[in-house]
Structure 1
């Protein structure tokens, strides 16, 4: 055991407490955030990931078509942005070319429009959206039925839900406000989100974090705080806690590579139904082979619908925004995401009502469906930081230092 100075003059230096051991289960964005934060505070951290690769839902497919598991972007006004930038983890970004802003289109009334209903922009400025009323009812009272429906469908880009209008008005309006700013918040990681994951993993290892992949954890370790940073369904099974549930969404995902064509939109947002298709190679051409464009989109589907129902709606957006895309297709992939799209709050609930981070007995949750504020991956980040803070408080041997520790 290491020795410290002898302030009492006893002639016997006091033993220095060994760093507390902290276990992180899950190697996605939340798990890596937790591991880095804990290691910077002096903890002895081991991270276990069940898959052979890190990243969770932030994985990117290998070339030639570097698709993420659904659309991904970082929002620059979120709490995670400064944290990542401070540590040099954002890396090269793929900024949206300003000239492409003219190719943002809205599918409304069965046709492409250059602008959305002006009432949507007015709704975003309101600060009194109630928690206990659904968004559609509240918005209709503010801006009329037609605008309310279009605004609810537009919110599908940050909720992935088949009926955002049925969710809490406060929940949806916050997301509407974040996605309709004059200066767009979205920032794209060049090369896909696996690049961010790799940088975070490298930084964690540099801080001394032990990372074990292909290591599925079936029981909790007997000593030291544990942060469970997995999907809520996996956490429920691991902790044997049936109370770990929260509403999420089902969404059909579509990835299409097409030969480059003139007149293709950059982005098509569905206002007749919730859905979104984006040309990701606009800002990052390296995601597809030369002469091809990579399109990615999502459409929320209801409990009684099949993946094919969502894909048909996505194809309507493709037909409108990317003329002749079927004849130009060089590669395609369809998939379904269930319960992997983050938390959605029903009327009468807020993020505070979701499963608590502190589960007692030194176990803490992190992820995008737990009790933390934010939009999309911001929830994972905020919950990871809070979980580490609580774990450190329960382990006095750790000296919580401010800011990144230099290596």
Structure 2
């Protein structure tokens, strides 16, 4: 029987694990936070899909495709975008079958709302603004049932520390204690790079392990410079204020009370995130999110009913959108870049499949459209399992990308984590320039410095930050979320839509899988118990 190891317990990883179990594949899922700390579980807005109700209201898959490409600055892969958007309604049905309960419209159909840069209301949601938690709770419950039936193994207290590679192909996962889990294929699903930044929307910083593990195994990475910053993060509350608030009518004002986005883009607050983030960052005297238009139209109490998660988070900080505007600023939110994969989730390393935010599929281009991340998570998770089922997982991905640039990174040194985050905030943020990027690279790779005494390798965050900085330096012009203030408005350095910067490690250092070791790599029961305990606590927040 084929054995599959999935690293990461967000929506992409859980989707892959469940689909594999249902297909009769022997599957083990590793997640050291008991599936309770992913970006997926924190997602507020929703799941983008053109459903039958949306079509009846005048929406179309073609419109979703066009919005996705436009938001991505025409840098996305049109074929990938069309395939994923076309499958979105089916993915909603799959999540429903797995137990997801969507908020309902008066006629009983899935309720749909509109978010920035979408031409129509096509965002399905759960619990108002707790979509990620609602989906993960349902999907994990289904996964636990499969485990009870002996069809799936969940290890909620273990993480992957590295990939095992033999003859250039991924053959398993190395655990932190040195134990090994061998597999016919590995699915990397451990997310993005939020842990690189100090100012981020995620309450649980992702250490960027997927990027570092793939890099060390010799996989090609693409669009590393494309980092999305969410425009409406409340530093006072330590919480992101969902895009759906602006979709419902909230507006952005500067210190003088003026709606500054009106002068920057005809779509104003509903422009793509990169446009709004730059507007917020440059707003005179700061920026505030004003929900008064929603209150006037919907009446008192609507915000608390429609956005209970945001309302509660603000209340804990003594803030209330119903009473007045809340100060906001951009914060790191999503990585459009990642491990380059084809439409079958295959990386350039045979046996290594990559899904969700860890992957670079070509869906998001230079800037992700709101609520397309959960859609991509399900789509790529299913694609990976289909690839394993077809027996084509040992084929390298077929990528229509330029030859990768070999980049030498000294893993014997690297700035400590706090320094990495300070540098990333200062140099790898909304606005970038050549001088700042060169300073970042020097500071991130200081000779003789390492994450901790005796640590032979730089941290995953240090590796990921250097990859972002390197790609950002190569792309001399601005494109989407990558904004070069020193060359803004130019087309230098091949910064054209469709021109993708790819990077590769010329000296892979992944663990060579030539010797024996533990096939099981730890005890199963402890992980499952921690999933039960931790997940129940997290989704109740």
| TM-score, scaled relative to structure 1 | 0.51
Pairs within 5 Å for 1:80-159 = 80-85=91-96, 87-91=97-101, 93-96=102-105, 157=116
Q: What is the alpha-carbon distance in structure 1 between the residues aligned to residue 285 and residue 356 of structure 2?
A: 28
* CA deviation string 1:123-162 (max 9, x = no partner): xxxxxxxxxxxxxxxxxxxxxxxxxxxxxxx9x825xxxx
Q: Quick one: structure 1 residues 310 and 329, their matched pair in 2 at CA, closer, same or farther if it must change by over 3 Å?
A: farther
Give RMSD over aligned pairs: 4.6
Q: Give the drift of 1:385.
A: 1.3
SS at match of 1:340: strand
Query: How far does residue 76 in structure 1 lie from its aligned partner after superposition?
Result: 4.8
The alpha carbon displacement at 1:31 in A equals 0.7
| Distance of 1:27 and 1:354 partners within structure 2 | 21
Matching residue of 1:392: 389
Count, aligned residues: 259
| Residue aligned with 2:45, SS | coil
- Equivalent position of 1:200 in the other structure: 139
Name the SS of the counterpart of 1:227 in structure 2: strand
Out of 293, 316, 340, the residue aligned to residue 334 of structure 2 is 340
2:19 pairs with one of 23, 37, 53: 37
> Where does residue 75 of structure 1 map in the other structure?
49
Which residue of the partner structure matches residue 369 of structure 2? Answer: none
- 1:161-210 alpha-carbon deviations (Å, 9 max, x no partner): xxxxxxxxxxxxxxx4xx42xxx432221372212212111212222322
- Stretch deviating more after TM superposition (223-232 or 24-33): 223-232
* CA apart distance, 1:334: 5.8
Residue 356 (structure 2) pairs with residue 367 (structure 1): yes
Q: 1:34 deviation in Å?
A: 0.5
Q: Does 1:268 align with 2:268?
A: no
Q: 1:23 to 1:330 in 2, by over 3 A?
A: farther
Q: Residues 75-110 of structure 1, C-alpha deviation per residue, up to 9 Å, x if partnerless? A: 25313112223x24222x223569xxxxx9xxxxxx
C-alpha distance in structure 2 between counterparts of 1:343 and 1:34, whole Å: 21
Structure 1 residues 42 and 352, CA gap change in structure 2 (3 angstroms)? closer
1:239 is aligned to 2:233: no
Deviation string, structure 1 residues 200-248 (Cα, Å, up to 9, x no partner): 1121222232222242211122432100012244322111257323234
Judge conservation of contact 2:280–2:287 (CA < 8 Å) in 1: no
- The answer to whether the 8 A contact 2:10-2:35 is kept is no
Residues 1:252 and 2:231 aligned together? yes
Contact 2:281–2:329 (Cα < 8 Å) also in 1: yes
In the TM superposition, what is the alpha-carbon distance from 1:336 to its structure 2 partner? 5.0
Counterpart of 1:188 (choices 125, 146, 161) is 125
Contact residue 28 and residue 154 of structure 2 kept, 8 A: yes
Shift of 1:33: 0.7
C-alpha distance after superposition, 1:308-331 (max 9, x if no partner)? 95994452x435545799685599
Q: 1:335 to 1:390 in 2, by over 3 A?
A: farther
Task: State the match for 2:410 in structure 1.
Answer: none
Partner residue in 1 for 2:458:
none
CA distance in 2, matches of 1:332, 1:210: 44
CA distance in 1, matches of 2:343, 2:331: 21
2:158 matched to 1:215? yes
Q: In structure 1, what is the Cα distance between the partners aligned to 2:350 and 2:46?
A: 35
Q: After superposition, give the CA deviation of every residue in 1:7-36 in whole Å (9 maximum; x if it has no partner).
A: xxxxxxxxxxxx322111111111111111
Secondary structure at the counterpart of residue 391 of structure 1? helix
- Rounded Cα–Cα distance in structure 2 between residues aligned with 1:372 and 1:37: 23
Residue 359 (structure 1) shift: 3.3
CA displacement at 1:42 relative to structure 2? 0.7
| Structure 1 residue 364 displacement after superposition | 0.3
- What SS does structure 1 have at the residue aligned with 2:360? coil
Asked if the contact 2:346–2:384 (Cα under 8 Å) also holds between the matched residues in 1, the reply is yes
Cα distance in structure 2, aligned partners of 1:310 and 1:57: 31
Bigger shift: 192-201 or 232-241? 232-241
Structure 1 distance, partners of 2:98, 2:192, is 30
Instruction: List per-residue Cα deviations over 1:373-401 (Å, max 9, x = no partner).
Output: 594422222211111112233389xxxxx
> What secondary structure, in the 3-state scheme, does the structure 1 residue paired with 2:20 have?
helix
Alpha-carbon separation, structure 2, partners of 1:314 and 1:333: 4
Give the match for residue 291 of structure 2.
Answer: 318
Kindly indicate whether the alpha-carbon contact (under 8 Å) linking 2:98 and 2:139 is maintained by their aligned counterparts in 1: no
